[in-house]
Structure 1
């Protein structure tokens, strides 16, 4: 039975809403705004109980990141998605059969349904809460950067925290927050396996016998172990020159870059005695991987890339290159991509909510 007085018109569709503080009654079978017995799987961030389809739409309208929702007609569960069919996620979007569910994109619903939260300007990290018909407040719901962690809890020390990244479909990731006692805390990705690079202190210029380093390379060479890497949280670009959490024996070696001063390689052809510079990127256990189209370039004198070996997931990349002196930096900025198949121990980081 309909008790309501409010009516929303959508072309030929009429939605009848109960003007009750606790319940909204709807007839989903008559809606052209929804797709029946379908859902968008794997990309919902928040699930809430909603008494009626319209209530689910209102929940979504109050969250800037919510682009669509799945509603379970059986138990009233409202799954709010950070992607839609028209604005996809990084992992792709495709409807799947789901008996008893309806799916709808939030752009189909009028902002006035959100009441005082209509056209709100709350950030992606917060939720709009209606004060009255024309006023609202923004309530924090998750943190997306170390500065936000500090804002929510000023006493937070340096350490591992769970963040949600808006530019990666609200991907939940473990990030080490450094310099939390300053006004500019920084984000680092902890590496369960130290990432190792070596610039051997030997030469074999013409492949006629090894000697110590000579010429401009004298005094160089060394090894490095990276335990954490600095990342720009907005796009997960690695600052390859940051050695805050690296151990070096001598010469500074950039992250994800192999180097040696071993042999001449003519016209990009590997010499008979090969290269000796190596670096292994190993992101296993971080939930991240090197993007598939990441490339490297031979640089320096008489340089060459001997090999680049990637794991199937892209979490491990082994580089081997060199020259006189020769090295192989990434062709463009080294950026990471999510590896959602990895399960990270929940207790390994702290969850902070505003």
Structure 2
């Protein structure tokens, strides 16, 4: 029997499966649809939290570890599969500067370079920026990846590593005996398992609740558009409040993102499309000259304060979960996979696991970060 069954084929599930396979274990991955087609595909690919100084240390520790791992993972995937995830250290410009002092303090504490820019230096850094923006903070170390290509590379690498992938196989519940999962109830019928790792994104909270454990997780819709521009139109990721522009190598510019609590509704809206385009033109007026190529939505796995739940089930011995990564699933995936693999194989992790426990108490002031 396969040693580990990963439920959920987003970036978290695929990275966990890959890490376990690299350690020589046997792994299978189940997804309710096609792997890599939900929030992991729909996001922007910025390898940093937005306004990182607003986040708890627990999330920042995972982020720092993932940032150290990502370039090597992307390079290895490109070599092994021929698919380039397009890791690119383009830097991040933050143009809303009400928190400059707090941001600079965060940079010193986390050893992350922040450069205050204004005037000609700001124009030199990003010539496409609206001239009405007079000041910004530049984080030159921040990189991005192209989500769909990263997911394509991961799936190809899992196949290379003999991970068995079962698409269109939804899990409806767990057969639990003597505090162990013995099997799954799936749309393809009963399935025996040895160890379960739940990485089901926005659907993970409802599935976890069938085991008697309820966590404060909810789907949060995010809508984005992509504008087709010539290469080089925009060179930096630009962030203002919760709106951002992400330039791809081929010239496309992603514009995100909405934050909407509307259940499992993935429909796009004309209002969001208009709002996103307006915010894009306000940041880079030249974008008004180019067409919107695509408009889509995804469901993020929302959690209070953005800190994910990673660890063993408090009552079920062969059950682990990695859930609630909210807006940062792709960015946190390498460190999450490293942590989960260490837990289930008896290894170690570079980041202490205690702050992510499934049975942790939330601070009284915890709020959903937008």
TM-score, normalisation: structure 2: 0.18
Structure that is richer in strand per residue: 1
| Rg comparison, structure with higher value | 1
Decide which structure has greater helix share. Answer: 2
Q: Structure with the greater relative contact order (CA < 8 A, sep ≥ 6): 1 or 2? A: 2
